[in-house]
Structure 1
Amino acid sequence: MSDAALAPPSIEEQAALWVVTLDEDPADHAARTACAQWCAEDPRHARALETMRRMWQSVTPQTPLPAPERRPTRRRASRHALGLLVVLPCLLWLGSALPWRIWLADERSAVGEVRQITLADGSLVTLNSDSAIDIDLSGDKRRLRLRRGEVYVEVAKGSAPFVVIDRDGSARALGTRYAVRRDAEDTLVTVTESRVLVRPRAAPEQATEVAAGEQVRFDRNGITLSTRAVAPGALTWRQGRVVFQDAPVAEVLRELARYRPGLLLADEQALAGLRFTGVLPARQSDEALALLAAALPIEVSRLSPWLVRVSAPAAR
């Protein structure tokens, strides 16, 4: 048996197995207890389980399933979980987790798409892949609400301040050009011209002014990463490229996954220690993966057009 076959399952694969196991036998108290313990081990486990549960519910009947005649074996559950991992990327391609606020947003971009929008006040807004915003230019307001993803704003001159608001707080323009990126745990603000005032939602006393050439991370409770210089190429996604400087391969793959429909899974344990420096195409993910595989000892397995797994090559 190869090393790849012995590699531990990813968090997504474990979450899929838990969803299928609990769905087939909801009364299994031991399985529920074990699943709860697994979720408590790492916050990523609970998030992955909730994501898989939402997507599983979207492809299963809304009426209760009949009780199985016998307790499913782990082999059967594993086969169903594999089916889940093959089907779910199609749903991701059609709209990720399908939150209604994203579908009803004023402007959206598809996975792999970068869109430019000119607002009524003359400001230019660029949406990164899989992003969504609401726009409020009523009265004396100039406000964007970032629902998902990343936005780069080139603010037109005007009497009213321009503010980007998201889950964690606000970024008010004191000049003209900056980006706001909403990540899973916090928000990243990158300033390319003039200054921006960042204000965490629940800690306004930690308001921080960010100058051109700087960036800062924050969540609703405060600053999570102090102001630092912007890395070269940080916003080259606007030109369809992503730049990495001595970055862990797992981080590179997470970034590429933002531009690829479906799931891009990584065996992070097997890839630990591998790092990458270079430029990859953002919107041609197959080409990006080929370039990565040519530069590093990794193996890219395409299980379907919407499901790709990256791991260390099997031992010979």
Structure 2
Amino acid sequence: MTTDAQRQALRHAAQWFAQLCANPEDAALRAQWQRWHCRRAEHEWAWQQLTELQARLGGMPQQLAWNVMEKSTLRESGPNRRTLLKGLLLGAGASSLAWQGYDVAPRWMADLRTRTGEQRQAALADGTLLVLDTDTALDVMFNASTRLLVLRAGEVHVTTGKDSRPLLVRSAQGDLRALGTRFAVRQLDGLTRLSVYQHAVAVRPEQAEGEVVIEQGQSVTLDRQRLFATQPLKKGEEAWAQGRLVVEGWRLDTLINELQRYCPGYLGCASEVSHLRVSGSYSLGNIELTLNTIARSLPIRIQQITRYWTRILPV
């Protein structure tokens, strides 16, 4: 069984390998790597694992390399095995991907994941509490100076633990630094959305200078260059972390699109009823119950051909 220290060492070894490949003439960087390499026995072990695998996979096609890695890494299962594979994959591909390789690691290798329709709670070593929404992938990268959560997909609700190290959530668009207790980050298509429920969060888009502080009760959307106008949080917006969706005057098609995120199949709405307005508190863990509840208050019917194909129609 691989220890936590060994798994962390594999992560760091992959990072060092990527940086050294990208900067082969940097003597200062190599000296820093040498100090890291000699500091602990786990570091030497991780470097040996990575370089041996790199030597074996050096000339292989990518798919074949994947197959070899799956069979040649230590006999782990579940999250431990994914962590090993991820660290070794980054080492094997570092010469071409450099440090960006970690940011494009497949989401199925993430430390924490949920399937479509699943929500999951997780408690981290520092006391931070997480709620992962449907179809979410998140990596946890803690070291002596920083606590970093890398959001690959989906949405995460964060209640920060008491710790002197800064806590960052990194999305595809930038970094979000906790200044308080509770907030949520959602990865959208080309955008990130932040909702601050308690205290504040400092936001820095990837290609921007400096941070902007978003206060409690506000939400903001950002891309890699800038932040868009802040908006007040809607009533009940945090309820999703307790498995509920609270809506007030939503169009039916907007509600159905949101529920679609929790359905492993097709969920649609006919244009004839898309304009109808809906208010209420609905279960995210039982979409069938939610649809039946909505149908009792609106002139609609539910057409379900299979459990994976459902459409809302006029009566």
Is the CA contact 1:260–1:283 (under 8 Å) kept in the aligned structure 2? no
Bigger Rg over Cα? 2
For residue 237 of structure 1, give the secondary structure of its aligned residue in structure 2: helix
- Matching residue's letter, 1:214: Q
Q: Which residue does the alignment assign to 1:243?
A: 246
Please say which of residues 295-304 and 102-111 is displaced more in the overlay: 295-304
Q: Which residue does the alignment assign to 1:216?
A: 220
Gaps of 5+ in 1: 1-98
Q: Deviations over 1:254-277 (max 9, x none)?
A: 11112222221223x323421111
Query: Is 2:280 the partner of 1:263?
Result: no
Q: Deviations over 1:68-111 (max 9, x none)?
A: xxxxxxxxxxxxxxxxxxxxxxxxxxxxxxx9712111111122
Query: Is 2:129 the partner of 1:140?
Result: no
Give 1:15-30 correspondences, 5 Å limit.
none
For residue 163 of structure 1, give the secondary structure of its aligned residue in structure 2: strand
For residue 270 of structure 1, give the secondary structure of its aligned residue in structure 2: coil
Query: Is 2:294 the partner of 1:282?
Result: no
**Distance of 2:307 and 2:123 partners within structure 1:** 34
Is the CA contact 2:173–2:190 (under 8 Å) kept in the aligned structure 1? no
The two structures, once aligned, show a CA RMSD in angstroms of 1.7
Q: Which residue does the alignment assign to 1:193?
A: 198
Give 1:6-155 correspondences, 5 Å limit.
101-155=106-160
Gaps of 5+ in 2: 1-103
Q: Deviations over 1:32-55 (max 9, x none)?
A: xxxxxxxxxxxxxxxxxxxxxxxx
**Distance of 1:247 and 1:272 partners within structure 2:** 10
Q: Which residue does the alignment assign to 2:237?
A: 234
**Distance of 1:113 and 1:303 partners within structure 2:** 23
Shift of 1:116: 1.1
For residue 210 of structure 1, give the secondary structure of its aligned residue in structure 2: strand
Shift of 1:183: 2.0
Q: Which residue does the alignment assign to 2:255?
A: 252
Shift of 1:185: 4.4
**Distance of 2:298 and 2:125 partners within structure 1:** 47
For residue 110 of structure 2, give the secondary structure of its aligned residue in structure 1: coil
Is the CA contact 1:105–1:132 (under 8 Å) kept in the aligned structure 2? yes
**Distance of 2:266 and 2:207 partners within structure 1:** 34
- Matching residue's letter, 1:227: T
Identity %: 34
**Distance of 2:186 and 2:221 partners within structure 1:** 9
For these two proteins, the number of residue pairs brought into alignment is 212
- Matching residue's letter, 1:282: L
- Matching residue's letter, 1:276: V
Shift of 1:285: 0.2
TM-score (norm 2): 0.64
Q: Deviations over 1:291-312 (max 9, x none)?
A: 1111122232112111112233
Shift of 1:201: 1.7
For residue 122 of structure 1, give the secondary structure of its aligned residue in structure 2: coil
Which protein, 1 or 2, shows the higher relative CO under an 8 Å CA cutoff with sep ≥ 6? 1
**Distance of 1:247 and 1:238 partners within structure 2:** 20
For residue 223 of structure 1, give the secondary structure of its aligned residue in structure 2: coil
Query: Is 2:164 the partner of 1:159?
Result: yes
Q: Deviations over 1:154-208 (max 9, x none)?
A: 1112222101011111211011211101123422111111110112222345x42
Q: Which residue does the alignment assign to 1:293?
A: 295
For residue 235 of structure 1, give the secondary structure of its aligned residue in structure 2: helix
TM-score (norm 1): 0.63
Is the CA contact 2:262–2:284 (under 8 Å) kept in the aligned structure 1? yes
Q: Which residue does the alignment assign to 1:183?
A: 188
For residue 164 of structure 2, give the secondary structure of its aligned residue in structure 1: coil
For residue 176 of structure 2, give the secondary structure of its aligned residue in structure 1: strand
For residue 271 of structure 1, give the secondary structure of its aligned residue in structure 2: coil
